[in-house]
Amino acid sequence: MKKNLAIILSIIMVAVSFTGCSQAERGYLNMSRQLAISEVYQTSGSVSLELDFDALAALTDKTMAQITQDDEYDSVVEVTDEFSKLGLKGTNKFEIKYDMIVDMKSKVSIWTDFDLKYNNKMYEMGDIYFHEEKGLYVSKDLLINLYDLLRDLKIQAWDSYFFSEDYRNELLKALGTEEYIYTGDFLELTNESDNIDGAETNPLIQNAELYDAVFKLIETTFSGFTTGTASQISGGYKISLNGTQVKKLIPDILQYLIDNIGKVITAYKDYTTILLDALPEATEEEKSIQYQSLDEISSPNSKIMISSYLAMAKQMFIEADKAGYLNALNGFSYNETLKKSGTKYTASQDIMLKDGAITVFSLKKQADIINNPNEIKIPNMPESRRTFDDVSEAIDSIENKINPVIGASIEWWNDDYDYGYEEISIEYHRAKASPFSSLSEFSYEPYFIKDKRLYVPMRSIAEKLGEKVEWDQKSKTPYVIRSGKQMKLEGIMKDGITYIKVVDFEKLGYSVTYEYDKEWGLHTAYISK
């Protein structure tokens, strides 16, 4: 509970940097709340980022040198060197333009279409569909254009084969002819407990009372505090904040929390109580335990302890500022505007970090949000699609063909050593790396021991090693194709899988060696080319 409370208070401190009790701050907070409780809305906008990797590395190195100057260790990893190894240098410009429709009236449903521009080159990313029950669909254009972006970035951590035209052609084949890829319901925003007692909606998304509670938490907690960062403008509000204000504001917020610790804890308890009541899947026993924890933090000793932690954090922040550790904030600035006209909101943000006269990064965001449920409808979900598993297997085939595994380490234990493992552990080794394959990757496969020999699945391991495996329907056995010739290996069929002795990989030209750790009862077989 102590850790959770610290996290909650930290979140509140960040959120309240732009809200307080002045008239402008209350107005900004209320307008933000109106946006947050919108069930159906359409938004279009852009996000542009200009990032100078050289300036970022230099500023980071300078800051770390300042912080570690009294450190007993002489060696400090320099970001400049790390960026250089990756090939990240100079000023790069990114811009995203997007359209999005969100519908949360009954089930969460989102559609978005966006394009990305990198250093004046356009990448048409296509669209994305998400439905709480139907899952996530992404356009094939998104994946191939992300690949093209990575090729243009030429990140040096990956081998050049990944950026070749041959690889791109193979990737296009792997993605298939369908326009969309179905990735499944991996976000799992719904589960069986969502419908307890007839509930038809996700309580955390659709509960208007919960949204109100969040804003009330901020408003009540900081009812006697003002940041001085908000001002009223025509049709809305503006937030302006710079690094000097940040360095003053954070200690002030911490001191305010210390001086008003009782009010802060009471507001937190009220919010958490509403949150617990909005969770139908939580049992009465679980809720009772949480309520008891809430009562505990209200005790005099808890208040003293929390206040002492806040005081310690304040002093550490002040000392860090005096020591120059926060000098990087000197060039920071944040400007935001939020306006409303009828059912339309207009929001913009401008965030910048400078190191002297040099701009390290500049982030600009602009969005128009229309809150008119009667005129907004999400396009129909795609019908032509390919599964993510199919695409993933196809990409694995590309890697195994172009960047095959050069060796494998297989581990298993004696039967009389019960470590709870029912599968062998296989570590595959590659000579090169890409976003789809690392130099080392693990897999777990079924196995069995017969006549003191290890039997392993033939197809999965052979294909990882870059072999082409086909099936002989007449003899009901798999075989390896080498230079157009069939190479059969004697195996044992079990549960639809053909197993071969690990030593039989020598018949395919591999070297197989073996080690045994008597102390741990651990066997290791090495397959190498």
Q: What is the pLDDT of residues 247-264, one digit of tens each?
A: 999 999 999 999 999 998
CA 308 to chain centre: 34
Number of other residues whose CB lies within 10 A of the CB of residue 423: 11
Question: What is the model's pLDDT at position 372?
Answer: 73
How far apart, in whole angstroms, are the C-alpha atoms of residue 183 and residue 180? 10
Collapsed DSSP state (helix, strand, coil) of residue 155: coil
Tokens for 196, please give them: 């307890």
Q: Residue 337 — pLDDT band, cuts 50, 70, 90?
A: very high
The residue type found at 232 is Q
Q: Residue 191 — pLDDT band, cuts 50, 70, 90?
A: very low
How far apart, in whole angstroms, are the C-alpha atoms of residue 437 and residue 87? 20
Question: What is the model's pLDDT at position 242?
Answer: 95
pLDDT surpasses 70 at 189: no
Number of other residues whose CB lies within 10 A of the CB of residue 241: 20
pLDDT surpasses 50 at 44: yes
Least confident range from 186-190, 332-336, 457-461: namely 186-190
Q: Where are the alpha helices (DSSP H) in 113-207?
A: 140-153, 165-175, 203-206
Percent of the chain with pLDDT over 90: 38
Q: What is the pLDDT of residues 404-436, one digit of tens each?
A: 889 999 998 876 544 444 788 999 999 888 888
pLDDT surpasses 90 at 495: no
pLDDT surpasses 80 at 200: no
Q: Are 205 and 130 in contact (CB under 8 A)?
A: no
| 188-192, 321-325, 369-373: range with highest mean pLDDT | 321-325
Question: What is the model's pLDDT at position 256?
Answer: 93
The CA-based dihedral angle spanning residues 484, 487, 492, 498, taken in that order and rounded to the nearest 10 degrees: -30
Q: What is the mean pLDDT of residues 334-351?
A: 94
Which residues does 332 contact at the CB level (< 8 Å), separation at least 6?
242, 243, 246, 352, 353, 354
DSSP state of 381: P
Q: Are 331 and 355 in contact (CB under 8 A)?
A: yes
523: β partners: 412, 516
- Tokens 């002030």 label which residue? 252
pLDDT surpasses 60 at 477: yes
Q: Where are the alpha helices (DSSP H) in 366-494?
A: 388-402, 458-464
Least confident range from 181-190, 219-228, 340-349, 497-506: namely 181-190
Q: Residue 220 — pLDDT band, cuts 50, 70, 90?
A: confident
Which residue in 214, 209, 208 sits closest to 268, CA to CA?
A: 214
Structure-model confidence comparison of residues 230 and 65, the more confident one = 230
pLDDT surpasses 60 at 3: no
pLDDT surpasses 60 at 186: no
Q: Are 492 and 478 in contact (CB under 8 A)?
A: no
pLDDT surpasses 70 at 468: yes
How far apart, in whole angstroms, are the C-alpha atoms of residue 268 and residue 214? 10
Q: Residue 208 — pLDDT band, cuts 50, 70, 90?
A: low
β 40-52/453-457 pair status:
unpaired
How far apart, in whole angstroms, are the C-alpha atoms of residue 292 and residue 294? 5
| 187-196, 349-358, 425-434: range with highest mean pLDDT | 349-358
Structure-model confidence comparison of residues 435 and 237, the more confident one = 237
Q: Where are the alpha helices (DSSP H) in 22-163?
A: 23-36, 53-67, 79-86, 140-153
Q: Let me know how long the chain is.
A: 529
Q: For residue 175, which phi and psi values (nearest 5 degrees)?
A: -70, -20
Q: Are 450 and 442 in contact (CB under 8 A)?
A: no
Q: Residue 207 — pLDDT band, cuts 50, 70, 90?
A: low
Domain locations along the chain: 1-39+199-325, 403-528
Q: What is the pLDDT of residues 81-95, one digit of tens each?
A: 778 777 788 999 999
Task: Please name the helix (run of DSSP H) or strand (run of DSSP E) that holds residue 300, with its range, or none.
Answer: helix 300-322
pLDDT surpasses 70 at 389: yes
Which residues does 258 contact at the CB level (< 8 Å), separation at least 6?
307, 310, 311, 314
Structure-model confidence comparison of residues 324 and 277, the more confident one = 324
How far apart, in whole angstroms, are the C-alpha atoms of residue 411 and residue 514? 10
How far apart, in whole angstroms, are the C-alpha atoms of residue 1 and residue 7? 10
The packing angle between helices 208-221 and 23-36, to 10°, is 160
Least confident range from 87-91, 110-114, 356-360: namely 87-91
- Mean of all residue pLDDT scores within the chain: 83
Question: What is the model's pLDDT at position 115?
Answer: 95
Q: Are 333 and 241 in contact (CB under 8 A)?
A: yes
Q: Residue 9 — pLDDT band, cuts 50, 70, 90?
A: very low
- Tokens 């002819």 label which residue? 177
Question: What is the model's pLDDT at position 159?
Answer: 87
Question: What is the model's pLDDT at position 419?
Answer: 43
The packing angle between helices 261-277 and 284-296, to 10°, is 180
Which residue in 56, 84, 31 sits closest to 235, CA to CA?
A: 31
pLDDT surpasses 50 at 17: no
DSSP state of 137: E
Which residue in 91, 54, 87, 93 sits closest to 155, CA to CA?
A: 87
What phi-psi label fits residue 172: left (phi over 0), alpha (psi between -120 and 50 degrees) or beta? Answer: alpha
End-to-end CA distance of the chain: 54
Least confident range from 142-146, 222-226, 308-312: namely 222-226
Tokens for 419, please give them: 């470590």
How far apart, in whole angstroms, are the C-alpha atoms of residue 37 and residue 209? 10
